């Protein structure tokens, strides 16, 4: 019985590591229209939506993400009528590589 429980926990842990990751490069920055709107980083394939609380916890200025590589779980990408977007709700949901990709 203990062996089964250990195997079950191990398989659940492995499944969380198997999530696909999507990486994009920021191309432009769209500031929020009001304080109740998010910051948006436009990329070639998906819009990265950042709420002010996330920007604050990342301790960044959102426009600094232009020309930076950002990675997140592919499963978080949502498609609406206009575009594809990923909403970053927590600073742990995004990985940022700080070298300048555009130069």
3-class SS at 55? helix
The C-alpha torsion from 55 through 61 and 67 to 73, rounded to 10°, is: -10
pLDDT digit string (tens) for 44-98? 999 999 998 889 888 889 999 999 999 999 888 898 888 899 999 888 899 999 8
CA distance 103 to 35: 32
Name residue 71's beta-bridge partners. 23, 95
Cα separations (Å) of 48 from 13, 32, 37? Answer: 27, 13, 13
Give me the domains of the chain, ranges plus CATH numbers.
20-97 (2.40.50.120)
Q: What pTM, to 2 d.p., does this model score?
A: 0.76
């Amino acid at each position: 019985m203990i062996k089964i429980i250990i195997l079950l926990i191990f398989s659940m842990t492995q499944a969380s590591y198997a999530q696909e990751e999507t990486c994009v490069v920021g191309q432009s920055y769209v500031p929020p229209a009001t304080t109740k709107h998010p910051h948006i980083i436009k990329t070639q394939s998906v819009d990265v939506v950042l709420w002010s609380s996330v920007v604050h916890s990342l301790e960044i200025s959102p426009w600094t993400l232009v020309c930076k590589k950002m990675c997140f779980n592919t499963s978080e990408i949502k498609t609406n009528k206009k575009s594809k977007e990923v909403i970053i709700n927590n600073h742990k949901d995004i990985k940022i590589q700080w070298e300048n990709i555009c130069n």
